[in-house]
Every structure is written in C-alpha cells, then in structure tokens.
C-alpha cells in the first residue's frame, strides 16, 4: 500500500494517489520507502521548459515523490554523500507546474509561499519537511542511486533514489493544513496570553502566607 499506518509510523511509497494523500495530515511523522526522485532549481527549470515545449519528462512523474536535494559526492564504499534538504522556496516558481505533471509529494526544508499552498490544495498533493543540517544521517536511509537526467548539472542532476525508512514530517497537507503556520499561530497566542510557569515545586500553587 502506498500509505500504510503501522503503530506510530506512517510508511509512504510511490506512486501516490489523491486518496493516499487524503490520509495524511500536517504534523504526521512519516517514513519513505522505495523510489523517490531528486530535483533542485536547475533541474526544475529544465523539466518545466521541456514541458512547455511539449517534451515529456525524463520519467513519468505521475504519483511520484520529489526530494529537493543536491547530494555531495559519495565516499568510497557509500551510495551517496551528505543528502540534506535544499530550501524549498527556491522551487516555488516551478511547483504548480510540477504538480500539474503529476507529482504528489514534495520533500524539502522551510515553508512554502501562498501560490504553492493553493496548488497543493488544487492538485491534492502534500509537502514534507526533511531534517535540515542532518544530511549525513539522512544519507543512511538511501540504499541506491541512479542518475536519470541532466548529468551535466553535476550534483543538481536528476536522480532516482531507493530509500528505506527515510524520515520526514508532513508540513502541508491537501486540506490547507500548514505545520509551520500552526507553530507561528501558537507562538503568537502564547505571546499574547502568556504561559503558565509554576513557582516552587512543580505543580505547587503560589502562596503569600496568608492571602494578603
């Protein structure tokens, strides 16, 4: 199954459908298995330019997962080098068209603009946050790598990755939920109302010795 919930873990694998995406909500902790594709801004530009010229993408993107990453070269004996996420807003200008090509899941770092938020709702897709600054750790979940297009772009070439338990958090769901915005709203509410900070032993009520 493309989306499988087992205990506290949500396992995701492509290809994904609208019904699969509908099972996911902002804040879900997920792990990816199977095939995901990499593409950063240079690869996105070529994909979209090609589509506008009537050219098919290098692979069928229907229901697929795109990870915004430009991995470093692999050390001897390793499949891939550090593979931390790229700032996602760099892909915002291309994202609605990528979703129109069939992509159903995006993985990157940081928030998305209003146009992308709307496109995720329109195309019934979702966006996940990978762990920024943990590229070496994330690379351990990548078990295979194949360059499939734009090899001249070097680290930004489009790649096919085989992953096993690649961790992420669902940030934006197809219903308009946005984990980062929820966090901002919660912070603003706390800033406005204040937060409870017990004085003395945890849970003990504050007293003044006689109520005066």
Phi, psi of 132 (to 5 degrees): -65, 140
CATH domain 3-183 topology:
fumarase (3.20.130)
Per the annotation, the verdict on 44 as an active-site residue is yes
Give the active site residue among 13, 20, 40, 44: 44
Judged against a pLDDT cut of 50, whether residue 28 lies above it is answered with yes
Query: pLDDT tens digit string along 62-110?
Result: 999 999 999 998 988 899 999 999 999 999 999 999 999 999 999 999 9
* Measured distance CA(124)–CA(122) in Å, rounded: 6
Confidence of residue 8 (pLDDT cuts 50, 70, 90): confident
Long-range contacts of 53-58 (CB under 8 A, 24+ apart): 57/101, 58/148, 58/149, 58/150, 58/158
Cis ω before 25 (30° cut-off from 0): no
Q: Domain ranges in the chain?
A: 3-183
């Amino acid at each position: 199954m493309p989306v499988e919930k087992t205990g506290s873990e949500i396992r995701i694998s492509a290809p994904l459908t609208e019904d699969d995406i509908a099972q996911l909500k902002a804040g879900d902790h997920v792990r990816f298995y199977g095939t995901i594709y990499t593409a950063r801004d240079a690869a996105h530009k070529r994909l979209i330019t090609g589509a506008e010229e009537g050219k098919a993408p290098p692979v069928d993107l229907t229901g697929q997962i795109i990870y915004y990453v430009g991995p470093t070269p692999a050390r001897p004996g390793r499949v891939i080098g550090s593979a931390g996420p790229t700032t996602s807003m760099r892909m915002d200008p291309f994202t609605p068209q990528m979703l129109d090509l069939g992509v159903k899941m995006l993985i990157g770092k940081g928030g998305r603009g209003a146009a992308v938020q709307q496109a995720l709702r329109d195309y019934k897709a979702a966006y996940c946050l990978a762990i920024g600054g943990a590229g070496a750790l994330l690379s351990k979940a990548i078990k295979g790598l194949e360059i499939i297009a734009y090899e001249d772009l070097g680290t930004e070439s489009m790649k096919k990755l085989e992953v096993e338990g690649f961790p992420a958090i669902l940030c934006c769901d197809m219903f308009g939920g946005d984990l980062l915005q929820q966090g901002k709203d919660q912070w603003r509410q706390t800033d406005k109302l204040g937060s409870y900070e017990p004085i003395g032993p945890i849970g003990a009520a504050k007293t003044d010795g006689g109520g005066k």
